Amino acid sequence: MSVIIVLLIASVSVASLFLAAFLWGVRSGQFEDDYSPSSRILFDDKPSSTNQSI
């Protein structure tokens, strides 16, 4: 019986983690702009010309 209570606490805390992640995602504006992140990831990080001297 007590093992069910442990499981209960475990499952609710995992779910709370997801809830927290969702709230954080909304707060930091991740759902606001659905175009830029998908393009941004494709940009190459070329070293800028000033750093090339080394």
Partner 1 sequence: MDIFVLYMASKATTNQQLQCYHCGENCISGKIHLEEKVFCCEGCKMVYLVINQNGLCDYYDLNEKPGISQRITVRKDKFAFLDDKNIQAKLVSFRDEKQTHVTFYLPQMHCSSCLYLLENLYRLDKGIITSKVNFTRKEVDIVFLNALTSLRKTAELLATIGYEPHISLNDLEATRPGINKSMVYQLGVAGFCFGNIMLMSFPEYLGIDASEEGLRGIFRWANFTLALPVLLYSSLPFYTSSWKSLKHKFLNIDAPIALAIIITFIRSAYEVLSGTGGGYFDSMSGIVFFMLAGRILQDKTYRQLSFERDYTSYFPVAVSVLKDDKEQTVILPEIKAGDTLLIHHEELVPADGILVRGKAFIDYSFVTGESLPVLKEVGEIVYAGGKQTEGNIEILVVKEVAQSYLTKLWNRDEFKKQEETKSVSFVHLLSRYFTYIVFAIAAATAIYWQIHDAGRIWPAVTSVFIIACPCALLLSNTFTNGNILSILGRHHFYLRSAQTIEDIANADHIVFDKTGTLTSGREQDIVYEGEPLASEQEQKIAVLASYSSHPLSKGLARYIGIIHDRQVDGFKEMTGEGIEGFVEDDWIKIGSKEYVTGERNGEEGTSVFISINGKQLGHYRFYNHYRESVPGLVQELKKNYRFSVISGDNASEKDNLKKILGEKTTLLFHQKPEDKLDYIKSLQQKGKKVMMIGDGLNDAGALKQSNIGIAVAEQTNNFTPASDAIIEAKQLTRLARFIQLCRANKNIVMASFVLSIVYNVIGLFFAVRGNLAPLIAAILMPASSLSILVITFGSSSLQARLMKL
Q: How many residues bind partner 1 (CB under 8 A)?
A: 28
Q: Which CB atom, from 34 or from 54, has the smaller least distance to partner 1?
A: 34
Query: Half-sphere exposure of residue 39, counting CA atoms within 13 Å on the CB side?
Result: 4
* CA dist., res. 46 & res. 43, Å (int): 9
Regarding 35 and contact with partner 1 (CB under 8 A), the answer is yes
Distance CA 19, CA 7 (A): 18
User: Which residues here bind partner 1, judged by CB under 8 A?
Assistant: 1, 4-5, 8, 11-12, 15-16, 18-19, 22-23, 26-27, 31-36, 39-40, 42-44, 46, 48-49
